[in-house]
Each structure stands twice: as C-alpha cells, then as structure tokens.
A and B are shown apart, each in its own frame.
Chain A
Amino acid sequence: MKFLPLILRSLLRKKTRTVFTILSIFVAFILFGYLAAIDSAFGLGVDLVGEDRLILQHKVSLVQLLPESYLRRLEAVDGIIFVTHCTWFGGVYRDPKNYFPQLVVQPERYFKMYPEFLLPEEQLSAWLEDRTGAVVGRATAQRYGFKIGDRVPIQGTFWRLADGGSTWEFTIRGIYDGAEDGTDTTQFVFRYDYFDETRVASAKGLVGWYMLRIRDPERAPEIAAKVDAMFANSFYETKTTTEKAFLRGFANQIGNIGAILTAVLAAVFFTILLVSGNTMAQSVRERSSEFAVLKTLGFSDGLVLLLVLGESFALSVFAGLAGLATAWYLISLGDPTGGVLPIFYFPPEKLVTGLSFIILLALLSGLFPAIQAMRLRIADALRRS
C-alpha cells in the first residue's frame, strides 16, 4: 500500500495520454457488457431452461401440427412425469411491428411445467374462471401498458375464428414475473379450450408441440428415441429434443450471433491491448532514468517490475471496473431496442469473464514494459540520461 501513491502519481505523469487510455478501456468494457447482454438475448435464455424438459414437435417442422390425443399416450411413457402442449398463435396487436410471442396453452399445466414463470395463485384462479382470459409476462405488460382487466384484441394471421373473423379478444387476468433475470417475460398466453372451440373446424384437435418433463435428465436421449419410435410411420411422426437443444436450434435460425459477437469483442480487445500496451511501453521508455534512480536508491529489480505492473493494473482495473459498472447500470435500464431484445440483462457469468479480461489486459499490457524496466542496467540508463 505504501507504494500506491508512487504508482498513481506515475500514472498521472502524462495526464492526457492516461485519460485517453482510460477512456478507451472504459468504452471497450461498456461495449463488452452490451454485447454480452445482446448475446444472451439472442440465446433466448437457453442457459436458464430446465434440464428435465423435452420438446416434441412434428418431424417435418415446427409449423406442422400434432394431434391433441398424443398427450395421454405420452403421459403413459415410463420416465415421463408430466406433459402439456402449446400452439404458436402468431397474431398482431394493433400493428405488425408490435411483436410479442402469443401462445395457446393449457393454463394450469403450462404454469406447472414452467415454475420459473411466477403467477400469483389468485390470478391463476381468475384466469381459470374466464375462458377468454389471458396472462401476459411483465416485460410485455410494461411495454404496452397492459393491466389486469384490460381487453386486448389480437388479429389472427393464420388462425381464423369459426365464424370467419380474425380478431380474437382477450381479457388480461394475470401478469407473470420471471424467477431470474433472464427468464422470458414477454409471452402472451391464452387458453387452449377457448382457442380450440372457436377456431375453424378443420384444425380442431391439433396442437403445435409438446413439452415433456422427465424424471431423470440422464435418460433424455433414451426417452426421446422411445417416443419418436412410438409415433414412427404414422401421419404425425415426431422429433424430440431437449428444450435446450430446441431453443438453441431456434436461436441459430437467426444466425450464429455468438460467433459474430465474439469476433467483434476479440477485435475490440486486441485494439485495446495495443492502446494500453503502447501507453505502458511509452511511459516506461520515457522514465528509464527514473527507474535507474529508483534502483540506485535500493529498489530491487523485482520491486521495479511490480511497480510497473501495479501501474498497468491500476489503469486497467479502474477503467475496466468503471466500464463494467456503467454497462451494468445502462443494461439494467432495459432493452434499448424497445422490444427486439426482450430478454436483456447482464449475465452474472459474463461479469466474471469481464473481470478476467481486466486482469488479462493489465497483465498483457504491463508485462513486457515491466520486464524491460526490471532488466534496465542502472549505469547505462544514468549515462544515457
């Protein structure tokens, strides 16, 4: 600690250069935070889904429907402890740009399948009382100002009412929250019984996909193979995967966002490493006579190495932490796109990655100049000065 004032004073020797370097690192870490949040957003919360859930869909594609009757057969399979189904509605609320996922679900079963969706008991009861009721996630409710009791018209795009109309009206009966930061709270869900009763007759009894909860996640491949075999050679053949794989596949349809973001981050950090490394190298070169004086006074080679590394750490840690903290704050303000990235948060594990980057940056940018300072020969440096 007694060397800290010396380290800080040395950093302020060239204030402008130090300030610009700090700003570069600061901005890089804000960018890091944002890209980490965007990466998570495009990952659709894949990391948070339960290991014990499987998704069963039509073998051809998610768009193809499956019979509702599969539910009882799936419940009878050994190892499957709970089943429910879901159907993509894909309607429009007032304007096509107002996108949020609308799903047709079995109310009690759906919230039992997804305990990470937190819906108060009395709201669930109110929903069960109202066949035209719907439940919406907090993010979408806040985005459109939905309140309990509001009537919400949704324009069906491919689902039509039996009477030929396309406007489905729902009453908000509940608003659910997420158990964790990354839990999806953008969904708008409504009842399958009401949906099936009022939709065109040709599609009655068909659902989008099934969610299966299994007792032992280790048995997932075996159970998936078993149920797919069960429906093989039927009109509705199936493909079963873990929910994680299902979501990852869904996310990958957008493109390998993770790889793109990693490439951008790598470029940013490489540039920052050059900026920071250059600052340190220049600073040490300019002060070779000062290091020679310190050594003359009795500072050992090792201590001089630590002093230079200390400067590098002070620079990177101060600017990096400030950048991460600012990113954290800005991200906590919510999705900057107004809805394109509904799951927008700073994943805690990325914070650890950020801290590791700070240490790595300090080490890489400071090590070479520190070794130079350590190896400096006193007599030569004093003679040159």
Chain B
Amino acid sequence: MNDALVQVREVHKVYHRGSERIDVLDGLSLEVPEGEFLALMGPSGSGKTTLLNLIGGLDTPSAGEIVVGRSSLGTLSSASLASWRAGHVGFIFQFYNLLPVLSAEANVELPLLLTRLGRSDRRQRVATALEIVGLSDRAKHYPRQLSGGQEQRVGIARALVTDPTLLLCDEPTGDLDRVSAEEILDLLEELSREHGKTIIMVTHDPAAAARASRVLHLDKGRLSRESGT
C-alpha cells in the first residue's frame, strides 16, 4: 500500500508545433507524500509548470498515469475533474489571477459558490481564510487597492477556503519584492507545518526552494537530481 498523496507514473507530455515534436515531460515519475512541502526547480522550459498542471488536472498527459489521493486523473471526465479540483486542490498563481471586478472577499468566496454551503457559512469560511492570511481588514478592498503581497495573500486565501489537501503553487513569489516574498513563504511554511497541507511549489528562486522540505530539479522533462533542505 502506497501512502503517497501524489503519484506520477511514467508521464509523458508531448506538444506539437507544426511538424516539430516537443517532449516537455519524458517518462517522469514522482511521488509526493501527504504533508510534504516540495519545491520543483529547473530552467525555463524544463516542464515544471506542465507537471504542476498535470498534477492539478488542468491538462492531460500524453502517456502515463497520475494518481492523487484515490483518484486516477486519467479516468475522470472533464466535469468530474472540475469537481475534483474544486474539492481537493488549491491553486496559487504567480500573477495572483484575482478577478478585478470582485472584492477580496468575493474572490475568496468563488470556490465556495460550487459547494452547497449557505451564504452565512460561506461568509464565515471566507472570514476564516482571510484571517489565516492576515487580511481580515482588507476584505472589502478590490485587487487594484491591494499591494502585490496582499493580492497574493488573497490568492492563497482563495486556494485555502475549501480546505483542500493539496496546494499547487506556480512561482508564488515570482512577482513579489523580497519582503513580501518572505511573508508569503512564511505563510506557505505555516500551512504545511501547522495545517498539514501538501504543497508542491514551482520556483526559480533558490531562497524560496530552501523553505521546502524537499527540492527536485527538472531538466528537459526529466528529474535530474534531488536535494533535501
């Protein structure tokens, strides 16, 4: 019995640009135990984000299998995959990807609109998520009224609000200044340590990667080496 939360088995991802074949992932295998904070590093084009998208069910592998928890993602229909993402995965993006027309609390509430929770329960969960990221006092603010660091905190609150097992972060500090980046990394560490979240973070930044419990390096679609921290 394998107790890894994420199992990536012999995954290939091939893109075609005209007649050119691009092997982004080349038979990659990987296991991520529950509760681990894993950093994925590698040069641009090494397949980090593609791997993250595949684990999050945003894209499908050309070959191989990805199992997250008890779900083999390849067997799920598009609708089931959407529903699975809503319940099990939180996404954190480099550029926050908040909806500019919604306030911070309305952005955080978005994933909860897919649940059966009533309005007051949703509001309570939103308040809790914003409290965890330290932004209770900015709930009514719109993204344009927030700093980059604050926007990313809203993004994290949105990822957390459904209490997913797995957090997938694509360069979460890539667009932030050093101080804000440190604060976001502190927050991710806390989520891993105190809330038991499994985190997979793609980063170029060695300082960010150093916060993870394990660092994997990708090169040309393969795992090249592993380093502990």
A residues bordering B, Cβ < 8 Å?
Answer: 2-3, 5-6, 9-10, 12-13, 289-290, 293-303, 377-379, 382-383, 385
Contact = CB atoms under 8 A, between A and B. Distances in A.
B113 interface: yes
B56 A13 contact: no
Contact of B86 (A3, A298, A302, A383): A298
B99 A290 contact: yes
A23 B227 CA distance: 62
B114 A296 contact: no
B100 interface: yes
B82 A299 contact: yes
B143 to A, nearest CB: 12
B95 A298 contact: no
Contacts of B93: 293, 382
Interface of B: 49-50, 53, 56, 58-59, 78-79, 82-87, 91, 93, 95, 97, 99-102, 106, 110-111, 113-114, 119, 158
Given A2-B119, A385-B95, A297 B79 contact: no
* Chain B, interface SS category: helix
Nearest to A3: B113
Contacts of B58: 295-296, 378-379, 382
A251 B33 CA distance: 84
A289 B96 CA distance: 11
A296 B56 contact: yes
Contact of A296 (B78, B91, B99): B91
A328 to B, nearest CB: 33
A10 B101 contact: yes
B99 A12 contact: no
Contacts of A298: 82-87, 111, 114
B105 to A, nearest CB: 11
Contacts of B85: 296-298
Contact of A6 (B78, B82, B113): B113
A22 B209 CA distance: 51
A172 to B, nearest CB: 64
Contacts of A296: 56, 58, 85, 91
Contacts of A290: 97, 99
B97 A293 contact: yes
A62 to B, nearest CB: 65
B111 A297 contact: yes
Contacts of B78: 300-301
A230 to B, nearest CB: 75
B91 A301 contact: no
A301 B86 CA distance: 13
A297 B86 contact: yes
A377 to B, nearest CB: 8
A221 to B, nearest CB: 61
Contacts of B50: 379
Contacts of A5: 106
Contact of B59 (A9, A289, A297, A379): A379
Contacts of A293: 93, 97, 99
A13 B100 contact: yes
B40 to A, nearest CB: 16
Contacts of B87: 298
A9 B110 contact: no
A290 B106 CA distance: 14
A303 B113 CA distance: 11
A17 B208 CA distance: 43
Contacts of A12: 101
Contacts of B86: 297-299
B113 A300 contact: no
A293 B108 CA distance: 12
B102 A300 contact: no
